[in-house]
Amino acid sequence: MAQLKYPETDRTRLNVLEKCVDQSAKDRVKARLYVVPAPMETMVQTFLAQYRPAVEHMLNMRGNRSMEVDEKRTAVSELERHIRDFWAVLERRIVRKNLPRGMFVEFNQLRSGENPDGRSLQEWLNRAEDIIRGEARVVAKGYEPMANPSVAEITAVRDAALAEAADVEDAISDLDQAQHDLDALRPEADRLIRLFIAQLDITLYGVDKDDIRAIKERYGYTFYVRETEETAVVQEPLAPITPAEEPPA
C-alpha cells in the first residue's frame, strides 16, 4: 500500500512548498473542486519569502565550502611538491659538491638524506618552516642559497596554503550559521507541509483513491510502498527428502 512520504531535507521541503502554491494557483484559475482555501495558500507564500532565501543561502554556503576545501587540497599538494623538490635538490647538491652530510640536520632531516613525510597540513607547514630556518643557518655559514625551488618559492606556497586553510575555516563557519538559521525555520516548514495536505484532503473527500494520489503528486508530495504481511512473498518450506522404499522381498 502506498504511503505518503514527507520531505526530509530542506531542498525537498522547499520544492514541496513551492509546488503547493504553484499548483494551487493553477487549480484556482481552473476552478477545481479540490482547491485549498486562499488563506492557506497565502500562509505558505508568506513563509516562502523567508524560507526560500534561507535554503538557497545554505546551499550556496555548502557549495562554497566544497570549493574552498578543493582549493585547500590543491594548495597543500603544491606545498608538498615544492618541499619534496627542495629535498631532492638539496640531496643532489650535497652529493655533487661533496658537502658535509651534516647539512641535512640543518634542515631537520636525517643524515641519510631520507626525506621526512607529511600526513597533514600542519606537518607540511612544519617541514616548510624547517626549510626556511635551515636555509638561514646554512647561508650564515657561507653556503649558497638553494634554488629550484628557492626558499622564497617555498615561503610563497606555504603562505598560499595557510590562506586557503583560513578560507576553509571561514566557509565552515558561514555554513554552520546558515544551517543554524534554517534550524529555526524547519519546524514551520514541516507544519505547513502537513497543514496544506490536511486542507487538501478535506477538499478531496469522496474522490477515487488513485485520483487522490495523482493530485497530491502534482502538488509535490511523494509516496512509497511499504511491504506488509499481505504483500510479502511467503515461501513454503521444502518437503524433506526421504529415501525410496525398498521393494518387498
The string of pLDDT tens digits covering residues 179-210 is: 999 999 999 999 999 999 999 999 888 888 87
Q: How many CB atoms lie within 10 A of CB 57?
A: 16
- As given in the structure block, the three cell numbers for residue 221 are 508530495
Q: What is the pLDDT of residue 249?
A: 42
Q: What is the mean pLDDT of residues 5-11?
A: 93
How would residue 113 be classed by pLDDT, with cut points 50, 70 and 90? low
Rounded to an integer, what distance in angstroms lies between the CA atom of residue 31 and that of residue 27? 6
Q: What is the mean pLDDT of residues 104-128?
A: 84
Q: What is the mean pLDDT of the chain?
A: 88
Q: What is the pLDDT of residue 144?
A: 92
The model carries a pTM of 0.76
Q: What is the DSSP string of 123-169?
A: HHHHHHHHHHHHHHHHHHTTPPPP-SS-HHHHHHHHHHHHHHHHHHH
Q: Map out the domains of the chain as residue ranges.
A: 2-225
Q: Quick check: 10 and 172 in contact, CB under 8 A?
A: no
